[in-house]
Amino acid sequence: MGGGASKSRPSSAHPDGPKSAAGKRSTQLGQVLFKSGVTKVIMIRHANAQPRDPEASSQDNDARTVKPGTPFANAWTVGDLERDITEKGKEQAAAATEWLKKYGVRAVICSEAKRATATCAIMTEGKFPPLGAGYLTLHTLHPARSGTPDCEKMFDTLGYGTLNTYFSNSSVEGLEGKGKIVFRHYMDKVTGELDELISAGKANFPTTGDTIVVFGHAVFLNAVAVAIGEAMGIPDAEGKVAVLELGETQGILCDSSAQEIKLLAA
């Protein structure tokens, strides 16, 4: 992530990572953020996008598709990955550029979904092109690429909402009362892939700026925000994130220096 430290060093985040049950990989992520001088991570939901094609999965033979035996992934395969943003989405992203400019963005981490990459390109004004320095594709940000079919099953039933909606739900057959376990599993998948990419030297990030921006999908980004908040040692990260509903081109800021989590919007 770059060896240089920014001028702003976390004042209260502990270098040994969180004491909560976020897991070993979250702890390792906290160490990396602390040592590199990254004090802020912003999770941004993509802009308004074209509707899903429910038939896309039956037509898809791409190697990126989900594994067989995941019946709730019909709307989450490559057909979903190819959905672009709409004209409304382009306007949303352009407006959201104004609040993102307030932060010293060092790097972006992006879902491979076209609607996420398109939102990223507009909101960062093309400063972080794919394959360039400061850009990292994280496949597990898209639920169909994370190997967590239970998340897809819950989303298929519940749709957008807060994490608390998922945590308290008892209507999804076979997953009654298991929302927290399901999304903790997703969190581990994302932090695991990120840890592996960083360890392999795939995160070729500049050393200037104190902020990393993650472009992906709600309510899944909310779960990532919990993992990041815990990695930063922010008290009650789960409780603070679980009440937030992330709208299009809105962001969840995790700030280790201020020890706060808040919603960012145009």
Domain locations along the chain: 24-264
Residue 169, pLDDT above cutoff 70: yes
Residue type, 51: P
Residue 13, pLDDT above cutoff 60: no
| Candidates 3.20.20.70, 3.40.50.10190, 3.40.50.300, 3.40.50.1240; CATH matching 24-264 | 3.40.50.1240
pLDDT score for 54: 60
Higher pLDDT, 51 or 219: 219
Strand ranges (DSSP E) for the chain? 40-45, 105-110, 135-137, 211-216, 251-255, 260-264
- Cα 160 to chain centroid distance, Å, stands at 15
Classify strands 135-137 and 40-45 as parallel, antiparallel or unpaired.
Answer: unpaired
* 169 Cβ neighbours under 8 A, 6+ residues apart: 154, 158, 176, 177, 179
At 78, is the pLDDT very low, low, confident or very high (cuts 50, 70, 90)?
low
At 214, is the pLDDT very low, low, confident or very high (cuts 50, 70, 90)?
very high
Q: Which residue(s) pair with 211 in the sheet?
A: 40, 105
User: Which tokens go with 54?
Assistant: 């429910």
pTM of the model: 0.85
pLDDT score for 115: 97
User: Which tokens go with 173?
Assistant: 């057959």
User: Which tokens go with 254?
Assistant: 């995790």
Residue 19, pLDDT above cutoff 50: no
pLDDT score for 64: 47
